[in-house]
Amino acid sequence: MQNRTNEDMKKIKEILENNTALEHAITLLSWDLETEAPALAAEKISKTLGYLTGESYSMIINDEFKKLVYGINTEELSEIDRKIIEEVKKESFEKMEKIPKDEFQKYSELRVLSVRKWEEAKRKNDYSIFKDYLKQMIEFNKKFIKYRGYTGNPYNTLLDDYEPEAAVEELDKFFDKIKNELSPFIKKVTEKEKSENELAVIEKFKNMNFDIQKQEEFSKYLLDIIKFSFEKGVLKESEHPFTTEFSNKDVRITTHYYENNLLSSIYSTIHEGGHALYEQHIGDEVADTVLGGGVSMGIHESQSRIYENMFGRSIEFIEFIYPKMDEMFNLSEKGIGKKELYKLANEVERQFIRTESDELTYPIHILIRYELEKEIFGNLDEETDVDALAVKWADKYEEYLGIRPSTYTEGILQDVHWAEGLFGYFPSYALGTAYAAQIYDAINKKVNIKEEMKKGEFNQINEILKENIHKYGKMKTPKEIIKDMTGEDFDSRYYIDYLKEKFSEIYGLDK
């Protein structure tokens, strides 16, 4: 029997390897579309991607392969091979198989065109260019939920794609804590009057221009500090920063540069660098299998957010990078010292753009998107009015942050996620940041993080994260990773306490 099991597993792995080659081509085309391809190439590329996606679907979703997967004796397999079978059953036969191939292909083609229309609409501040594509993306996802089925709220099916084991019932409690604990604190912080000197520094910094070529050079310097391997990765520019992984030896990231906003590229680069380190550190034994890649977007975002915010926005790290920044951008000549830079990097301001928002108000941006998505997908038979959706977006910003976007670009068009059909992704940002606070506490018990940041030293920190999170890929569940690393189940209290402590100190407030 063992010989039969070995033969069957060998066949399964061969088919999966062939499919990985197809997926590699799909990902490469998608990367090219976002970084190099001319705008008018989108339609042709969308058709190519649709065809390749269909071929990938057929390679996996067929009776012969399914028989192999469900017929193998898992008791005779190694731990890794058992996990591979579990992953294939879940992703291929419990999810993908339930969606008809022709619809899957059409959706893949639509995604490409949807992103192109979103880019144009955002650039021109013209929602009419994109809204019909958004409606189609929503309707496709509602159909997919019906095909796949759901437990409890229909939205749970989409949430599970990004954070297994997360559900509306659990996330409602999490976001209620965010609302109840942080909203009053945000009010106290934003009502605290800034001194004339602080206002002058902010105004001066906002009116400074920073050479794009120097920003590119500085971004590479930052990635070197956190030990991103350029032998296993590259840095490019795109409209919306992102990370794409082909394997643990080919991880590509993008950032975006603005002449009048140096901090944007700095923290986008560190954020994507955190994602990339996760992928570069995945163990070789699982990297080229279906277990390669991060276990969930919540855990993935915990890595990007811990590097971006908890390490990158700390006073110690800012003091370490300041001499290089000053050398390249002449900050001291313009009255921006280390302390001023620290306050600028942590300035709390109620603003429209999620990716430019501060740590404290950031979860409110996610709460808004979560509530909108929950409403969209809570009733699958109700047609979504995309014009009303844009108004609801503005209404929620007014309700939660006291500001109302006056343009579509600073409102519903600001994020690429809905254009790509990534409904259910947004909660992972808030959940991941909350994971990060608990993970930070666990690391700090093993190594003095502040002392490491003063030296710009990441070797020990990276090793701890690699050994406890990165190397496992999808071998563990998110809950197992948090419990094994921190010794506790997930507790959002670490996140809320971290934010209150940090910003009380910066703004001279009682917690």
pLDDT, mean of residues 18-38: 93
Query: Mapping DSSP to helix (H, G, I), strand (E, B) and coil, where does residue 250 land?
Result: strand
The pLDDT of residue 39 is: 84
Tell me the C-alpha distance between 195 and 348, whole Å: 14
**Residue 190 phi, psi (nearest 5):** -70, -20
pLDDT at residue 1 tops 80: no
The pLDDT of residue 344 is: 96
Q: Return the bridge partners of 233, or none.
A: 251
Q: Which residue has the tokens 């994971």?
A: 435
Query: Mapping DSSP to helix (H, G, I), strand (E, B) and coil, where does residue 3 land?
Result: helix
Question: Is residue 43 exposed (0-12), middle (13-18) or buried (19+ Cβ within 10 Å)?
Answer: exposed
The pLDDT of residue 165 is: 84
The pLDDT of residue 269 is: 98
The pLDDT of residue 3 is: 82
Token digits for 210? 């920073």
The pLDDT of residue 198 is: 85
List C-alpha distances in Å: 480 to 174, 238, 290, 301. 19, 35, 19, 16
pLDDT, mean of residues 143-152: 97
Q: Which one is predicted more confidently, 448 or 3?
A: 448
Residues 6+ apart with CB under 8 A from 134: 114, 386, 389, 418, 419
Q: Which of 24, 334, 328 is nearest to 200 (CA)?
A: 334
Q: Where are the alpha helices (DSSP H) in 379-458?
A: 386-401, 427-444, 449-455
pLDDT, mean of residues 489-497: 97
Query: Per-residue confidence at 285, pLDDT binned at 50, 70, 90?
Result: very high
pLDDT at residue 304 tops 80: yes
Tell me the C-alpha distance between 250 and 381, whole Å: 42
Q: How many separate helices (H) and strands (E) can be counted in the chain?
A: 23, 3
The pLDDT of residue 34 is: 87
List C-alpha distances in Å: 259 to 208, 219, 272. 8, 14, 20
Token digits for 147? 């095909």
Token digits for 350? 């109620």
pLDDT digits (tens, 9 = 90+) for 409-432: 999 999 999 999 999 999 999 999
Domain extent listing, the chain:
2-151, 168-507
Question: Is residue 398 exposed (0-12), middle (13-18) or buried (19+ Cβ within 10 Å)?
Answer: exposed
For the chain, what percent of residues have pLDDT higher than 70?
100
Tell me the C-alpha distance between 203 and 415, whole Å: 26
* Residue 320 identity (one-letter amino acid): F
* Residue 116 identity (one-letter amino acid): R
Token digits for 115? 């992103």
Residue length of the chain: 511
**Residue 236 phi, psi (nearest 5):** -130, 180
What order do you get walking across the sheet with 250-255 strand by strand? 233-237, 250-255, 243-247
pLDDT at residue 510 tops 80: no
The catalytic position among 119, 272, 301, 410 is: 272
Tell me the C-alpha distance between 199 and 178, whole Å: 29
Average model confidence (pLDDT) for the chain? 96
The pLDDT of residue 289 is: 96
- Judge contact between 272 and 253, C-beta under 8 A: yes
The pLDDT of residue 199 is: 85
Q: Beta strand pairing status for 250-255 and 243-247?
A: antiparallel
- Per DSSP, the residues of 5-57 read HHHHHHHHHHHHHHHHHHHHHHHHHHHHHHHTS-GGGHHHHHHHHHHHHHHHH
For CA atoms 397, 398, 402, 407, give the dihedral sign: positive
Q: Which of 431, 430, 441 is nearest to 479 (CA)?
A: 431
The pLDDT of residue 511 is: 62
In the chain, % helix, strand, coil (3-state, to 5) comes to 70, 5, 30
Q: Which of 425, 320, 324 is nearest to 370 (CA)?
A: 425
pLDDT digits (tens, 9 = 90+) for 363-397: 999 999 999 999 999 999 999 999 999 999 999 99
How far is residue 465 CA from its own chain's centroid? Answer: 18
Whole-number CA gyration radius for the chain: 23
The pLDDT of residue 195 is: 83
Domain 168-507 part of CATH 1.10.1370.30: yes
pLDDT at residue 184 tops 80: yes
pTM of the model: 0.94
Check if 316 is active-site. Answer: no
Measure the CA angle with vertex 23, ends 19 and 26; round to 5°: 145
pLDDT at residue 98 tops 90: yes
